[in-house]
Amino acid sequence: MAFEFPIRVYWEDTDAGGIVFYANYLKFFERARTEWLRSLGVGQQRLREQTGGMFVVTGAQLRYHRPARLDDELIVTAALQDKGRASLTIVQQALLKSEQMTDLSPQLLTEGTIRIGWVDSATLRPARIPSTLLEQLTP
């Protein structure tokens, strides 16, 4: 089951034509991942203070299907695909929320696979994700 986070497209998200600038989907995905973690009781600042570690993006692969436009309402998802001792792979989608959700499902706009690694926040060297955190991330 994917976590869902609503986002509205503002002027700052678009190019001169009113279409979402492609790199802004990475920002949308980041917000959804942060809120997904928060929904699991994982605040990233507190996590850094308590463990001395933090997540960093180590890879991203995106595929663009359709553009989002100014004032669109999006649903951005995040779901854990794979977990290792030092990294997580999160699958994400940006979907266009239909005006009438009764018959229409949201349209897929962009999908991506984001790999996040765990690092020591002082040295930025890779480290193992605390086992208690890994347990918290899987229901």
Give the strand pairing for 3-8 and 73-83: antiparallel
Neighbour count for residue 5 (Cβ, 10 Å): 21
CB-based burial of residue 133 (10 Å sphere; 0-12 exposed, 13-18 middle, 19+ buried)?
buried
Coil, strand, or helix at residue 114?
Answer: strand
**Strands across the sheet containing 53-64:** 3-8, 73-83, 87-96, 107-120, 53-64
Neighbour count for residue 73 (Cβ, 10 Å): 15
Catalytic residue positions, numbered: 15
Residues 6+ apart with CB under 8 A from 71: 8, 9
